[in-house]
Structure 1
């Protein structure tokens, strides 16, 4: 019994380390999202940090259009980054989890 418990504790520790390493790696994964016309481009990390924003000079004269572009493109970039982030962390956490009956149903 205690051997199984110690094994499970070891797997949980391993899972925590994998999640930590995955979080660090996600800081280095970047993705770009652009407006359809290419006038604005946002680069974000998979850890949901804005890294760069490129704005065409054409947008600088129209504050309302620039604001609309920023909101739309940043939101799309953050959504995609969030999907990558969540999928990677979920996979890392599940990989090291001990085989406990019913745990999958509990995690849903």
Structure 2
């Protein structure tokens, strides 16, 4: 079961042993606004605020990526995480590849093989 963006933020805040007010103050938003994010009443904030959450909650790279994905889902079912959208928008080959994959119904197993290949090459 997938958690929501707000649940993720709350979980990481509790893990870091910070109060809602402490984190809100550190990142420069009101405690009321943060509470509304954590309870799912508001979607994820701007990318700049997400970066502040990353630092305040001491998120590692994987956690930050998960947060960005959840943030995109909280805004719009068709949204893509900021870091991925930037990468796609800056690379014509990637856009072409994704459209080709969509047009040809490339199965997920092919993407898994591709991912494993580049992990082996770049790790």
Q: Please confirm whether the aligned pair reaches a TM-score higher than 0.5, indicating the same fold.
A: no
* Higher relative contact order (Cα pairs below 8 Å, separated by 6+ residues): 1
TM-score (norm 2): 0.24
Structure ID, larger Rg: 1
The structure richer in helix per residue is 2
